[in-house]
Amino acid sequence: MFDTAQALNLSSSGSRAAAPDGSNPSTGLDHVQNWRHQSNAGSAFGASAEPPAADSLQVQPEGNALRSAYSTSSIGSHSRNRKNVSGSTAVTPTLAGGLGGLAGIEERALEVETFLSEQSPLRSWVRWMAKSGLKEWCIPCGLMAVVLVKWCAGLGGWSGRGMPPKFGDFEAQRHWLELTLHLPYSDWYWYDKDWWGLDYPPLTAWISLLCAKVATLVPGLSPSLALDTSRGSESALLAVFMRSTVLILDLLLYVPSVLFFLNRRLAGRSLRTRSVASISVLLQPALILIDSGHFQYNSVMLGLCALCFALLYSFLPNPGASVATAGFAGSSPPLLQTSSAQENAARTKIKSVTRQLSYQYILAAVTFSCALGFKQMALYFAPAIFSVMLGRCWGLKHIRFDKGFALFAGLSAAVIATFFLMLLPWLTSLSQLQQILIRVFPLARGLFEDKVANLWCFLSCLPVPQRFKLRNVMSISSLARLSLLTTLIAILPTCVHLFWAGMQTVSIETSIDADTRARNSGASVAGSVKGDASLAGASLRDEALPSGTRRTRKSSVAGSDAGTERMSIFSGRTAGGTAVRRPPVLSNYLGDQRPVTMVVPSPAAAILPYALLSVSMAFFLFGFQTHEKSILIPLLPLTLLMSSKGDAYSGGAGATDWEWAVLSNNLATFSMWPLLRKDGLIVQYVVITLIWNWAIGYEPFAHLREARKLFVGWFSAAVTAAILALHAAEVALPALIPSSIWTPIISRYPDLFPVLNVLLCAPCFGLVWLWSMKRQMEVGFAAGLDSLSLLQGLLRKPQTKGVRKGS
């Protein structure tokens, strides 16, 4: 604990405002001002946080200030410290003052100590780079570190190395290069199915052919790709080439897609935050160990999926953008424009956002179709993607039928065209298409492969008599139907919620359009200066304010919601969708042009990562023909939720998501431990996992001495202790127990430790699935997607006649 003089010194130095570009060094108290979330119901929009001081909002770049103002105004009336719900005066905690007593000093010292405990080596390095004026080099340097780690992971063994007769996944991928290079298209899915026959969709075959063509240009590599005679080839040159193809495809598809998604999700956040999040995600150990170690091309499919997620991650229209930008497009200043010009500008801007979003959805359909065309496991995301797209089509249909039908037709045409191009050589024969389906979806293989931590393998590992095992009670076809039914039941609530979010997003966009047009059309030239929500006047007054004290416009909140957990930014919208309480926009019309969209995600975008996690995890837990590497699929949306350790943004919800994401990544990596050990990747498993946890600052046992209020803290400590205990037992038991006793035990139970692995990981993954649905509902509730409005929307048609008339 800090002493009194030290705490006072920190309090005085911590009151300085950070530079907008974040280049100045930050003290502990600069970050302590982000108050942590104290409620169980978190909001993705910062709805559950205590409002920061007003003068702390404007020291950030414009996008961050917009988002911070939005969070502050959306929660201001709900704060426990607010005296008047309808007024504009709020009592906010001030960290720079109130240190007259010993209690205040101790509280401040505790806050500084908490801040220091939430640091990480990666975060400290990024801060040092920013202090040195090199913050733009954080991500490039991080990428070089990622490439180095992945290449070092490839220096070890791979799947099936030196294990004849069939070897492993490395030989399968090499064989597909050989097969596509020497055989015509019509033989690709028929040739020697007993020797790693091609069982992936056509885009995998096309990329294999491309890699094989490049391989023919490398001197000395052709013998390793000769038809039939090269089977089992493991030359050093071939290994380097194959490892290089994984790394190059990763850099071309996965890395840009992840950075694109994080830049959209963290829009308005500082470059330092985005850098920490990007490097943390790209150093994910599970994907590195499988693709660069075990050897597969999962990053291609995951990269295409991440690009699809980024295109679906939309933002709400900016209510002030149309009026602000109209004056710069025309000949007269924005404050002197006629109401007709303002109305036309408003309609044009809002409609352009809606149209652009529809185009993004069509492009997302193309990218996701490519992901499906590369690896069929992308189907884990398909129900969620289909639900949000169909929800938008249905929402546009309620506005005007031709708009909804046009988007649906565009999405259908994009999907059909994409698969038509991938399947073009096989479309001339029905038997060829049937063979592709049989190879891609092999229902005869069984319910699961090896020891995978899902429900079915968990049940089979339970110590019950053999006659009660599922495989002895039901046939393969019956098990497949049971798996399908269980999966559909598990994903149904998530998909319905996501469908409703897509509909509501359209309704909110249209309501903002109608409200903006009504506001502009009812204002005269003189009234625009004086009225129009006093935006212009506020801007002129703000220009005279000192730096860091510019006012922001706050929206009103219904008094009935005060003091409750319902921190919804759209709770004022009526059931008919005709009135929306608009998020605040910084009123600086005489400055830079206002962006067309805000940095606030739409309801559909806000719940999308959680819905993708919920649906994909349900497929992993209850799906048919699941293997241990399939956990990489639900890990993608969960890992993309990471920002940085102790992130107090959005009321502390980011910190909770971070802890669940790190725990799940460690758990997923451990669930693949039997496979990695078989591949000879023990050193890579230990080193990469430890380096990643150290770099991001994960310390599951650090706070056990304190009364932690979050369940995930205790759960993480318990799971980590169990993982370490199993690893210790696997090493210590053979050494401690005499061989005369241990050898018969391990001979009778050869899968003892893999079974214990499944018994630990499967229930934990089930808990992660339940948490993802809980978080989805919380975030949806904060966005106005409560169950009552959902039932009302499903039971009656939205009232949009007024909107239809103006559109």
The band of 349, judged by pLDDT with boundaries at 50, 70 and 90, is: low
- State residue 514's pLDDT score: 63
- State residue 103's pLDDT score: 56
* Cα dihedral sign, 369-372-373-374: positive
Query: Where is pLDDT greater, at 661 or 24?
Result: 661
Q: How far apart are CA 103 and CA 100, in angstroms?
A: 8
- State residue 382's pLDDT score: 96
- State residue 620's pLDDT score: 95
* Residue 577, phi-psi category: left (phi > 0), alpha (psi -120 to 50), beta (remainder): left
- State residue 733's pLDDT score: 92
Is the pLDDT score of 250 beyond 50?
yes
Lowest mean pLDDT among 168-172, 528-532, 656-660: 528-532
Using alpha carbons, select from 540, 552, 777, 651 the residue that is nearest to residue 39: 651
Query: Where is pLDDT greater, at 675 or 20?
Result: 675
Q: How far apart are CA 609 and CA 561, in angstroms?
A: 27
Q: How far apart are CA 336 and CA 332, in angstroms?
A: 6
The band of 804, judged by pLDDT with boundaries at 50, 70 and 90, is: very low
| Tokens matching residue 759 | 């018994």
- What is the average pLDDT across 39-50? 38
- State residue 426's pLDDT score: 94
Task: Return the SS3 of 65.
Answer: helix
Is the pLDDT score of 312 beyond 80?
yes
Query: Where is pLDDT greater, at 511 or 430?
Result: 430
Q: How far apart are CA 556 and CA 501, in angstroms?
A: 23
Q: Count of CB atoms within 10 A of residue 629's CB?
A: 23
Lowest mean pLDDT among 573-582, 652-661, 776-785: 573-582
In sequence order, the 6+-apart residues with CB closer than 8 A to the CB of 81 are: 50, 51, 90, 91, 92, 93
Is the pLDDT score of 372 beyond 90?
yes
160-166: long-range pairs with CB below 8 Å, 24+:
161/234, 161/679, 161/680, 162/234, 164/232, 166/195, 166/196
Query: Where is pLDDT greater, at 62 or 690?
Result: 690
Q: Are 640 and 262 in contact (CB under 8 A)?
A: yes
Using alpha carbons, select from 413, 403, 324 the residue that is nearest to residue 362: 413
- What is the average pLDDT across 459-476? 83
Is the pLDDT score of 50 beyond 90?
no
Q: How far apart are CA 443 and CA 438, in angstroms?
A: 8
Q: What angle do CA 499, 501, 503 make, to 5 degrees?
A: 75
**What number of helices (H) and strands (E) belong to the chain?**
33, 2
Query: Where is pLDDT greater, at 798 or 123?
Result: 123
Using alpha carbons, select from 782, 599, 601, 604 the residue that is nearest to residue 67: 599
- State residue 411's pLDDT score: 96
Q: How far apart are CA 396 and CA 505, in angstroms?
A: 10
CA atoms within 13 A on the CB side of 369: 19
Q: What angle do CA 188, 192, 197 make, to 5 degrees?
A: 60
Q: Are 423 and 433 in contact (CB under 8 A)?
A: yes
Q: How far apart are CA 34 and CA 27, in angstroms?
A: 13
Q: How far apart are CA 358 and CA 355, in angstroms?
A: 5
Question: Residues 184-216: pLDDT tens digits?
Answer: 999 999 988 888 889 999 999 999 999 999 999
Question: Residues 590-638: pLDDT tens digits?
Answer: 344 455 556 678 899 999 999 999 999 999 999 988 888 999 999 999 9
Greatest mean pLDDT among 81-90, 541-550, 736-745:
736-745
- What is the average pLDDT across 752-756? 93
| Tokens matching residue 769 | 């699935």
Lowest mean pLDDT among 49-58, 441-450, 507-516, 742-751: 49-58
- State residue 320's pLDDT score: 58
In sequence order, the 6+-apart residues with CB closer than 8 A to the CB of 118 are: 645, 646, 655, 697
Q: How far apart are CA 474 and CA 43, in angstroms?
A: 44
Is the pLDDT score of 479 beyond 60?
yes
Question: Residues 60-85: pLDDT tens digits?
Answer: 344 444 444 333 333 333 333 333 43
Q: Are 456 and 483 in contact (CB under 8 A)?
A: yes
Lowest mean pLDDT among 263-272, 536-545, 627-636, 725-734: 536-545
List, as one string, the DSSP characters of 125-188: HHHHHHHTT-GGGHHHHHHHHHHHHHHHHTTS--TTTT-TTT--HHHHHHHHHHHHHHS-GGGT
3-state SS of 435-478?
Answer: HHHHHHCCHHHCCECCCCCCHHHHHHHCCCCHHHCHHHHCCHHH
Which stretches within 623-672 are classed as H helix? 632-639, 653-671
The band of 441, judged by pLDDT with boundaries at 50, 70 and 90, is: confident
The conformation of residue 582, written as its DSSP 8-state character, comes to P
- What is the average pLDDT across 708-734? 90
- State residue 672's pLDDT score: 95
Greatest mean pLDDT among 103-112, 303-312, 317-326:
303-312
- State residue 784's pLDDT score: 77
Question: Residues 573-601: pLDDT tens digits?
Answer: 333 333 333 343 333 333 444 555 566 78
The conformation of residue 289, written as its DSSP 8-state character, comes to I
Q: How far apart are CA 233 and CA 244, in angstroms?
A: 17
How many residues are there in the chain? 807
The conformation of residue 251, written as its DSSP 8-state character, comes to I
- State residue 631's pLDDT score: 96
Task: Return the SS3 of 212.
Answer: helix
Is the pLDDT score of 131 beyond 70?
yes
Using alpha carbons, select from 713, 717, 634 the residue that is nearest to residue 668: 634
Q: Count of CB atoms within 10 A of residue 213's CB?
A: 12
Using alpha carbons, select from 492, 22, 18 the residue that is nearest to residue 275: 22
Phi, psi of 597 (to 5 degrees): -120, 155
Q: Are 267 and 315 in contact (CB under 8 A)?
A: yes
Using alpha carbons, select from 167, 197, 159, 158 the residue that is nearest to residue 180: 197
Mean pLDDT for all residues in the chain: 76
- State residue 716's pLDDT score: 93
The band of 518, judged by pLDDT with boundaries at 50, 70 and 90, is: low
CA atoms within 13 A on the CB side of 554: 22
| Tokens matching residue 448 | 């699961």
Q: Are 215 and 241 in contact (CB under 8 A)?
A: yes
Query: Where is pLDDT greater, at 587 or 686?
Result: 686
CA atoms within 13 A on the CB side of 692: 29
Q: Rounded to whole angstroms, what are the CA distances from 161 to 453, 728, 745?
A: 25, 27, 28
Query: Where is pLDDT greater, at 319 or 261?
Result: 261
- State residue 702's pLDDT score: 80
Q: Are 159 and 170 in contact (CB under 8 A)?
A: yes
Going by DSSP bridges, is the β-strand pair 597-601/315-317 parallel, antiparallel, or unpaired? antiparallel
229-233: long-range pairs with CB below 8 Å, 24+:
230/174, 230/178, 231/171, 231/175, 231/195, 232/164, 232/167, 232/171, 233/174
Lowest mean pLDDT among 37-46, 239-248, 361-370: 37-46
Amino acid at 277: A
Using alpha carbons, select from 496, 729, 780, 490 the residue that is nearest to residue 614: 490
Q: What percent of the chain has pLDDT over 70?
A: 66
The band of 355, judged by pLDDT with boundaries at 50, 70 and 90, is: confident
Amino acid at 780: G
The band of 19, judged by pLDDT with boundaries at 50, 70 and 90, is: very low
| Tokens matching residue 166 | 């069939």
Is the pLDDT score of 472 beyond 50?
yes
Q: Rounded to whole angstroms, what are the CA distances from 167 to 173, 232, 234?
A: 11, 7, 10
Is the pLDDT score of 338 beyond 60?
no
Q: What pTM was estimated for this model as a whole? A: 0.77
Q: What percent of the chain has pLDDT over 90?
A: 47
The conformation of residue 196, written as its DSSP 8-state character, comes to T
Query: Where is pLDDT greater, at 733 or 356?
Result: 733
First to last CA, the chain: 63
Q: Are 511 and 519 in contact (CB under 8 A)?
A: no
Q: How far apart are CA 68 and CA 56, in angstroms?
A: 9
